[in-house]
Amino acid sequence: MGSVMDSPVYEVFGQHDALSFPTHVGSVRAASATLALLLARETYFRRDAVFDLWVVPRTSIFSARQHDPLMLGDRTNKAYRLPSGYDNAPIWKQFKAQAQTIEEVALDMTPPRRS
């Protein structure tokens, strides 16, 4: 025995619903992509319904951490890119107007119920 080769590894990604992104959940070994897809369903999603399922040959994944970890490191100050990098509320207050946040806008834009 011991003469059987290992099947290739496929990384498995599952997307829970239309508005979520596919997320890596693990991997399977399978002789082909079709088979990998069938096996991934029961390996990782036998309990939950899933919106979409991807299998990707492990060899097709090029990881930054492995090939160029420096690009992942710390950056210089980028506070100007962040909402918390701004402090408009007190200034708005000086102008006697109220500050606003994107969450409030989003909430405001929830589609109205129409019957």
Partner 1 sequence: MILLSPTQARSIQWLLTSVADDEWIIGHRGSEWLAETPNLEDDLALSSISQDEMGHAQLLYHLIEGLGGPSPDHQVYDRPIDRWHPAGLVTLPRQDWAEWVTRQYFYEVFDEIRRQALDTIPFPSLSSALLSIQREESYHTRYVHTQIQSLAFGGAVAEDHLAQAIAVDWPFIPSLFTWGGDDSTWQSLQSPVLDPEAMKAAFEATVHQQFVMWNIPWPGALGSIAPQGRDQCHNPAMAQVLSEMATVRHIAPESGW
Partner 2 sequence: MIKRLVRSYWRHRLDRAVIRYQYLTHPEVLRLSQILDGWILQGQYSLARSERWRSKLSRIGSIARPEAVRSQKGVNTSMTRLNQSHEAFIEHIARGNKIEATDWMPDDYRQLLIKQIHMHAVSEIMGAYPEKEWVKYAPTIRRKLALNAKIQDEIGHGQMLLRLAEDLSAPYGRGREALLEDIVEGRVKFHNVFHMPAPTWADAGVIGFLVDGGAIITQAMLLASSYAPYARMLKRIVAEESFHMQCGESVVLALASGTAAQRDMLQQAINRWWPAMMFFFGPREMGTQSRRMLEYRIRTMTNEELRQKFLARYVPRIRALGMTLPDPDLHRDLDHPHYWHYTDPDWDAFNEMVHHNTGPMSQTRLALRRGAQEGLAWARQATLTAHATHCDLSATL
Exactly one of 11, 13, 14, 39 binds partner 1 (CB under 8 A); that residue is 39
Query: Distance between CA atoms of 37 and 54, rounded to whole angstroms?
Result: 7
Q: Hey, how many other C-beta atoms are within 10 angstroms of the C-beta on 18?
A: 7
Tokens in use for 23? 């997320």
Strand partners, 10: 28, 57
Closest approach, Cβ 18 to partner 1, in A, equals 19
Q: Which residues of the chain form contacts with partner 2 (CB under 8 A)? A: 1-7, 9, 25-29, 31-35, 43, 46, 63, 65-66, 69-70, 72-74, 76-79, 82, 84-85, 87, 90-91
Query: Distance between CA atoms of 40 and 27, rounded to whole angstroms?
Result: 8
Is 35 a binding residue for partner 1 by CB under 8 A? The answer is yes
Is 56 a binding residue for partner 1 by CB under 8 A? The answer is no
Is 29 a binding residue for partner 1 by CB under 8 A? The answer is yes
Query: Distance between CA atoms of 55 and 107, rounded to whole angstroms?
Result: 36
Query: Distance between CA atoms of 97 and 90, rounded to whole angstroms?
Result: 10
Exactly one of 11, 13, 14, 28 binds partner 1 (CB under 8 A); that residue is 28
Residues at the site binding partner 1, with contacts judged by CB under 8 A: 7, 28-31, 34-35, 38-39, 41-43, 46
